[in-house]
Amino acid sequence: MEKILIIIWIVGCCGEFLVPFILSSRIKNYSHLRTVMSAIGSKENGIVGILYSVWLILFGVIVVCISYSIRDFSSIGTYKAAIIILGVYGIGCVICGIFPVNNTKEMITVSAKIHGYVAAITFLMLMFVPLLLKKALYANGINGLAIGSNFVFVGSLVLFVLQILSEREQFVGTILGNTGLWQRLYLGVIYVYISFVLYNISTNI
């Protein structure tokens, strides 16, 4: 696999956190700890929301392209399933960019409902990518990363559960209520893991 694709992936992943950080500075009372990144794309945020939506679509295209480029690294069925999930996640990012949320947590509009359901499903699926890649990593002698896949799965599972719990009213105002933090950590863990996988793929082909 071309090294340039790894660079594009890493730049894209960094952008996933830097773009919301930069754009949110234009939104009054936005909290990186409490608020999910998708809230920036709300239509109520005007040009800032549009810019974030455009970014989300661009990142989704990057993920789809990366997925397609590494589809033939292994013929193992679980590997193929992992790549499909990664591609679906990229498509989900594009859909979420096209259909932004509203400013409130309630899914009032059709756009917000589409965004909410797509985000929830693709986030859940993304968690299983490390487990599905494990067999292919072992088969290619990348044992350290294969073992680490178990820890990445457990860590992402915990963070996913924390994100769900943070939405409950009784946790608002507590450390568990930091929805934005759990979302960023969840994505960060998986993105870093996939970066290592891409690097190892590039050195083994």
pTM score, two decimals?
0.92
The arithmetic mean of pLDDT across residues 74-79, rounded, is: 92
Helices (H) and strands (E) in the chain, counts: 7, 0
Confidence tier at 49 by pLDDT (50, 70, 90): very high
Residue 150 has pLDDT above 80, yes or no: yes
Residue 72 has pLDDT above 90, yes or no: no
Residue among 199, 179, 181, 178 at smallest CA distance from 189: 181
Confidence tier at 2 by pLDDT (50, 70, 90): low
Note the pLDDT tens digit of each residue in 157-183: 999 999 999 888 888 878 888 999 999
Confidence tier at 204 by pLDDT (50, 70, 90): low
Q: How far apart are CA 187 and CA 152, in angstroms?
A: 11
CA angle 175, 180, 181 (to 5 degrees): 55
3 state SS of 102 = coil
CA angle 36, 163, 137 (to 5 degrees): 100
